[in-house]
Each structure stands twice: as C-alpha cells, then as structure tokens.
Structure 1
Amino acid sequence: MVLLFLLGPLLLAQAQKTPADTARLRVGEVGGTRTIAIDTVNVLPTADTKGWLLLDKDIQLELDGAVQNLYNFKYDKAEKQFRSLRRRYPHHPMPYFLLGLSTWWKIMPTNFDSKQYDKTFFAYMDTANTYAERLVKADPHNYEGYFFLSAANGFDARLNAERHNWRKATVSSKRALNYLQKSSEANGLSPEFLFGEALFNYYAVWIPDNYPLLKPVLLFFPKGNKQLGLSQLRTVANNGFYTGVEAKVFLMKLLHNDEHQTAAAMPIARGLALKYPDNGYFARFYALLCFDQADFAECERVSKDILTKINVGMPGYEASSGRYASYFMGYLMQYKYRDLPKAKDYYQRCIVFAESNGETDGGFYLFANANLARLADRDRDLPAARRYYEVVADKADHKSDQYKEAKAWLKKNSKA
C-alpha cells in the first residue's frame, strides 16, 4: 500500500517489477522534500473512535466472508457484500476502498498488463479519498479518515506508476506519505494502522541499499529499520483483518526476493495458496517457492492445477500464471521424467504465454528458449537450435552463462 511513499513512483515501481522468476531461480538456472517523522505511538487521548467502521467488530464479522471471497477471486460475491455496505454507509470511504481493492486484485494477476479495470479502480479510490477528506475535515483526530486517505493515495500512486503517469503518481505518493504520518498516531489502536509504517521502515533502508546514488536525497527522510519493518509486517499479517493478507503478500515477497529467506517465505506462501485455492497469483508464487526449494511433487501438483484452471477460463488465471506453470512442468518433464517430447511442448507453451502478454525480457521465457535450444541441438535440429539460441543471445544478460553459451554455439555453427 505504501510502496511509492518515499521517493516518488518511478524507483519503487522498478523495484517491485523485478520478476520473481529471475530473482532466485537457482534450480531453473540449470536451464524538495520536508522531513517527516513517523513514530509508533498510541492513539491520542482526544481521538473519538465512535462510528469508525474500521474498528467495528460487527462489520468485520459481516465482511469476513467477503474478504475471503475477494482473495479467492470470487469477485462477484465479494463485491455484492461491499455494495451492501455502501448502501448503508454511502458517505463513508470504506466500501469504496474495498471495491477498489477488489478491482486491484483483478489487475494484479496480469502483472499489470491488463488496463480494462483502470478507470473503475481510479474511480473507486478517488471516491474513497473524497469521503475520507470529509471525515478528517469534520474531525482532525479522525485517524480512520487518514488511514483511508493514505491507503487510497498509495494504491493510486502504484497503478499510475505502472502506467508511467509519473506526475499523478508523484502527487499521490506525497499525499499518501503525509496522511501516513497522521494515521500512524493511531498505531497502538489497531494493527491496520501499522501496515503503512511497516512498509516505510523497510523501504527507507531498502532504497539506499539498492540505489546508493539516492542517499543524498534520503537525508531529508527519517531513518528506517528493515528488521523492525519486517517485524511490524508479521504483526499485521497475524492480526490485521483488512490488511492482514496484504501484509502476508509483502512479507512473502520480501523474504524471498530481497532477504533471500525462501524457507521463511514458504509457510506464508503455502498458507495463502491453501486458504485461497482459486487465487492464481498465490498459486504461482507458491509453485515458484516449491520449485526453488526442490519440492517437485508439490510444484507439479500446483502447476497442473494452474494450467487446468487457465484452460477452463477461471477468473484471475492469466498468461503470467501459465508462464510459471508451463515452465515448471517443462523442467520436470525434462529432468525428472525424461519425457523430452512433453518437455518441449511445455517449454513452447511457456513461450506462447510469455509472448501473449509481452513478458519476454528474460526469466522463464529466456530459460524455456535456452532449454529448447539445447534439446534441438541434441536432436541435431540445427535450424531450431539456431532460432532458440538467437532469442537467448538477444534477451540474456551479456555476463550470464546463458548468453555465453548461446554466442559460442552461434559462432561454432555460423556456417551450418
């Protein structure tokens, strides 16, 4: 939610777009800013929480099924309950934010490739922002209002960054950080309020570690604490009602991609995949971790399930998930079952999935082409091997073993 709060959307959008399939695919490789202080303090004595839907246990009980449906990609069922909440509270930001969150999870599985939900998403977040502004205008100590202002602007910034709308994303980022400062005064009241600070603490350290040229700019910002941020994310993941799953998603990704603690990320990924079996995003990330940890039986089970659900057109099962699953199946057919015709078929399906949504900058697309090139060379099908190796030479990092292998083969077979 607060991915883009620090230095504008460009940097953190780039950071989060690092493909998970290239981050740690060990087995697969065979083939003018003001200082803002954000402190964790208890809710101020002057806060009146009467009427805060965010803390209303009856509302949480009512919406429990809707939240489960949202993350299990039963969008219609979830949104039916969110619209019911909107009918009763038409001037409160919560129902609009939840409808926006549901729309967000229609975009997520496509790796932000699909733009068909953009207008709806922005409309919901803008409406949530409008009604949240009214809450804090009526009561400057309405931290629930600040929470929704921070959250709505944060999501707005993220999608605008993905769409390269840098001006809009920067404006929303600054607003989100400002409101995060205000909402953090209620951190002691509910884990929901802690989510934004957890991400801030982590990324305030992550950015200078990964982009040292930005260290001078970061002098204007408060210091972060990565371990505290991870600890806070765990607190939210274990206790948050509305933000709990979002915290688990961030924690899972950070542990695997950035902290190199895949074993620690695995229980989170497994829990999400088992609790929400029809969430294609959770399924493919779980399959990735199973592959990384050499749990090939589970990786195969999940991958087959993903491909089956793609074939029947289940919501949220897109080309990105197919790219993951078909590569894993190709690898298993090649190295575990020694069924090379099936391996070729799965690798080719991986390539089709990748090309269908433009995910051809490396990752599984590169690995599938490399393995197909080797198999073609083994069969002395030189035209096919050349075709695949040319893709590898074009897409692979010039320092990588795959690039060197492709260039060496092409040079050796230049007259073939």
Structure 2
Amino acid sequence: MKIFCRLFAMRYLILLLLPLILLARPGKDPWHPPETEKLLWMLDDIYNLDFDGYKQKQRLYLAAHPDRPEGVFIEAIALWMRILTDIYNPEYDGIFVSALDSLTDKLEEFKEDEHLAEVAEFYINAAVGFKAIMHVTRQQWFSAALEGRRAISGIEKAIDGRWTNADAYFGSGLYLYYADIIPTRYPLLKPLLLIYPDGDKERGLKDLAYTAENGLFARVVAAYMYSLILYTREKRTSDAYKIMSGLSMRYPQNPIFMMWQASMAIKLGNT
C-alpha cells in the first residue's frame, strides 16, 4: 500500500510540474535556436569557403524554420567571409552593403513576434556591426565610427549585460577595445566618440576571449579578430599563434587563417 501511495504521489507531482518542465525546454528559450547543429554545419561550410554547401543547407533550414531569424542572419557571416577573402578590394563593397541592408530589412519582420523581438534586434545590430568590422579590418576608423552609431543601442545592451547571449560579447569586446585605443592613437577621431560609452581595453579583450570560447555564430570571427588584435596591437604573438593555428587546423580550406598563421610563425621563428 505504501509503495502504491508513493507511486501515486510521484505521478501527481510530475503532472503538476509538467507545464514548468515544458516551458524550460531549450526550444522554448527564444535565444536557443532549433537544430543548432545544422547551423554549426553551415558555419563550418562558410569558414571552409564551401558556399555552395552552405547555401544548400541554408535553404533546407529556412524551409524547416521560417519563423526563426537565425537562418536569415547566418547570411551576414557568409557575406563577411566573402569580403574577407579579398578585404582590400572595394569592388564588392556596394554589393556587401546592399546585401546587409536587405538582410536587416528581413530581420526587422521578426520583431513583430513579441517572443522573438529582442532576439531579432540583436541579430539586426550584429548584421550592422559587420559593416563596421569591415572598416576596422581596413583601419578606416572614421567609417567604422559612423557605422558603429547604428549599432550603439545594441552595444550598450551588451556592455550592460542586458543581452546574455555569448555572441553579444563579441560586439562589446570590439567596441570597448577600440574605443579605448583610438582616441589616443588617432586624436582627430576623439570627438566622434564623445557620445559613445567609454572604452575599456582590458575588458574588451576579455569579452572577445569569452565569445571566442563560448559563442555560437560569432565564435570563429571573434577568435579571428581577437588573434589579430593580439598579434598586430598587443604584440602577444605566441597567444595569437595558438588561436590562429587552431582555426587553420579546423578549417584547412581557408587560406586567410593559414596566411596569418604563417605570418605569426615567421615572427616567432617557427618556420
């Protein structure tokens, strides 16, 4: 009789808790996209420059999940990777910018869903941020600052910790780092940063490292930018080499990672 009562009580407790269990499932979390592994496969294709393979997977993902913004946003990373393969060639800049603008328009539609509004806002800011990253990579600081104005609300949320997504730390990390060093190295740009949050180089580096370790969409691009900063600005070539060699090993079809790894190896004498 006691065993029967215990079983009955356990079943009753499970029935009471079932709604809470269902609400706690990852699929109910707006920040947790469905079929994350398929998004990771797409990212692997992008970073290995297999854009045909990526496109095939993206079409299937969009068809399966038309109500989610991730399948749309991932195109921003693909566009960025195409530009990065020939970063100093301005021939495709117009296509890159117009494609990102079209992308943000599509992402705006997801803001109509109250459940996804904040997630969509994050991806919109991230897509806009890729324009600024392009200018940062080219050391076009004035253009980077102008583009950064469009993403400033997202940057502030990331800095304040209002976005718990690990990818958000990539944006805050880049901003905090460069907002700290630019006024000193380029005094003429200081007035542009007066209306922005103060920079913090050390926190910026920590935020970049955090996304490089824990991010989803931004993990690889954060590791790449973090490695370049360590190499070209912080003179921490050994640390930069470890990160870049890891990227080269994971994405052997990507000549960009291999080129930087070789440059760092020469600097270290590891030829």
**TM-score per shorter chain, which class?**
0.7 to 0.9
Task: Give the distance between the partners of 1:141 and 1:251, measured in 2 at CA.
Answer: 30
**Which protein has greater RCO, CA pairs closer than 8 Å, 6+ apart?**
1
The normalised TM-score by structure 1 is 0.52
SS of the counterpart of 1:260?
coil
Higher helix share: 2
For the Cα contact (< 8 Å) 1:269–1:286, is it kept in 2?
A: yes
Gaps of 5+ in 2: 1-23
Aligned to 1:286: 261
Correspondent of 2:150 among 175, 183, 195: 175
Identity of aligned residues (%): 26
Q: Aligned pair 1:195/2:176, yes or no?
A: no
Please list, as runs of the form range in 1=range in 2, the aligned pairs for 1:1-400 lying within 5 A after superposition.
55-56=31-32, 58-90=34-66, 92-113=68-89, 115-116=91-92, 118-119=94-95, 121-139=96-114, 142-158=117-133, 172-182=147-157, 189-296=164-271
Task: Give the distance between the partners of 1:64 and 1:242, measured in 2 at CA.
Answer: 8
User: Computing the radius of gyration over CA atoms, which structure comes out larger, 1 or 2?
Assistant: 1
Shift of 1:57: 5.7
> One-letter code of the match for 1:207?
I
Shift of 1:69: 1.4
Aligned to 1:317: none
Shift of 1:59: 2.3
> One-letter code of the match for 1:133?
E
SS of the counterpart of 2:88?
coil
Task: Give the distance between the partners of 2:169 and 2:25, measured in 1 at CA.
Answer: 17
| C-alpha distance 172-218 of structure 1, shift in aligned 2 (>3 A) | closer
Task: Give the distance between the partners of 1:289 and 1:167, measured in 2 at CA.
Answer: 28
| C-alpha distance 99-52 of structure 1, shift in aligned 2 (>3 A) | farther
Q: How many residues align?
A: 247
| C-alpha distance 216-190 of structure 1, shift in aligned 2 (>3 A) | closer
For the Cα contact (< 8 Å) 1:93–1:128, is it kept in 2?
A: no
Shift of 1:203: 1.1
Shift of 1:93: 3.5
For the Cα contact (< 8 Å) 1:157–1:170, is it kept in 2?
A: yes
The normalised TM-score by structure 2 is 0.77
RMSD of Structure 2 on Structure 1 (CA): 3.4
| C-alpha distance 98-124 of structure 1, shift in aligned 2 (>3 A) | farther
Task: Give the distance between the partners of 2:28 and 2:143, measured in 1 at CA.
Answer: 29
The CA deviation string for residues 298-340 of structure 1, in whole angstroms up to 9 with x for no partner, is xxxxxxxxxxxxxxxxxxxxxxxxxxxxxxxxxxxxxxxxxxx
| C-alpha distance 84-118 of structure 1, shift in aligned 2 (>3 A) | farther
Shift of 1:168: 9.1
